[in-house]
Amino acid sequence: MGSTTWGTFLFVAFFVPILRLREKINRKGGWNMKVNGVTVAVPNSLSLLAYLQQQGYPLDRIAIEYNGDILARAAYGAIQLQPDDVVEIVCFVGGG
Amino acid sequence: MTELLTDQFANQSVAIAGLGGLGSHIAEMLVRSGVGKLLLVDFDRVERSNLNRQYYLPAHIGMYKTEALAEQLLQINPSVQLTIRRQRITAENARMLFAGWSLVCEALDGAAEKAMLINALLLDTSKTIVAASGMAGYESANRIQTTHPFARLYLCGDAVSDMADAPMLAPRVQLCAAHQANMVLRLMLKLQEP
């Protein structure tokens, strides 16, 4: 194999994963995840429940889809946020 | 074409949770469209204050909404199959009340009750819900839209206009109900885009 092929191989095999990992780690040493389609930074070892409380969500008025699955309310506290998590939060207002 | 569509919906079924301004109109529009089978769930009676936006008449005041609405729907289509449950929906009984109904319209009025129903029913992976949030007041009608936030949840409304801050008026309530009814028909036709 020529040096160009080797160079491409090395770049793809080693540097691309490192670059992608760096995108997931934010400046404060936490993770980036997506909430309602927007990339947000979260510190390491934060539970979903703690995140919701921090953001001021009214816990009795929301429903959450976490990485494609609806999440039981009782599970919010046990979920530790991970890099690349995709969280959809619906917050209801009254009227019917 | 009209007859063909009516036939197409005759074997379709949908559950309506709450028979207020949203639910009563969703049911009315779906029965007019030829949907053959509906489950109607509500515990409440018709009050005078409901008449500004709900599909009831002064003669219905004091009647249970389930019975008053059934009477109206049977006048529209005498052969529609109605199942009636006169019960308050709770986190404990929700799954039992809607067992066997895969398509559910959330038409409750309290924000916490709405969230409760979505949480209780969506854990059952066979269910799809068309819900509503944000239809109070008289902000621009153009803000009412249908969105698709979860794989099995469609949400109609403007997401912000709370009945705690603005009066519930017929136009935006019926507009939101029409969004829900239209999404139900789309899902029955296997169209998943909001």
Complex prediction ipTM: 0.93
What is the Cα B8 distance to its own chain's centre? 20
Note the pLDDT of residue A30. 78
Q: How sure is the predictor about B1, in pLDDT bands with cuts at 50, 70 and 90? A: very low
End-to-end Cα separation, chain A, in angstroms? 68
Q: Do A93 and B152 touch (CB under 8 A)?
A: no
Query: Does A29 score more than 90 pLDDT?
Result: no
Rounded to an integer, what distance in angstroms lies between the CA atom of residue B76 and that of residue B69?
11
For the whole model, what pTM was predicted? Answer: 0.90
Q: For chain A, what is the radius of gyration of the CA atoms?
A: 18
Whether the CB of A2 is below 8 Å from some CB of chain B: the reply is no
Q: Do A90 and B153 touch (CB under 8 A)?
A: yes
Instruction: Return the residue of B nearest to A70 by Cα.
Output: B123
Kindly list the strands in the beta sheet with A86-91, ordered across the sheet, starting from the edge strand earlier in the chain. Answer: A38-42, A31-35, A86-91, A62-66, A69-70
Q: At B104, give phi and psi (nearest 5°).
A: -125, 135
pLDDT in tens, A63-89: 999 999 999 999 999 999 998 999 999
Per the prediction, chain A carries an average pLDDT of 88
Helix (H, G, I), strand (E, B) or coil at A11: helix
Instruction: Return the residue of A nearest to B20 by Cα.
Output: A96
Q: Do A63 and B150 touch (CB under 8 A)?
A: yes
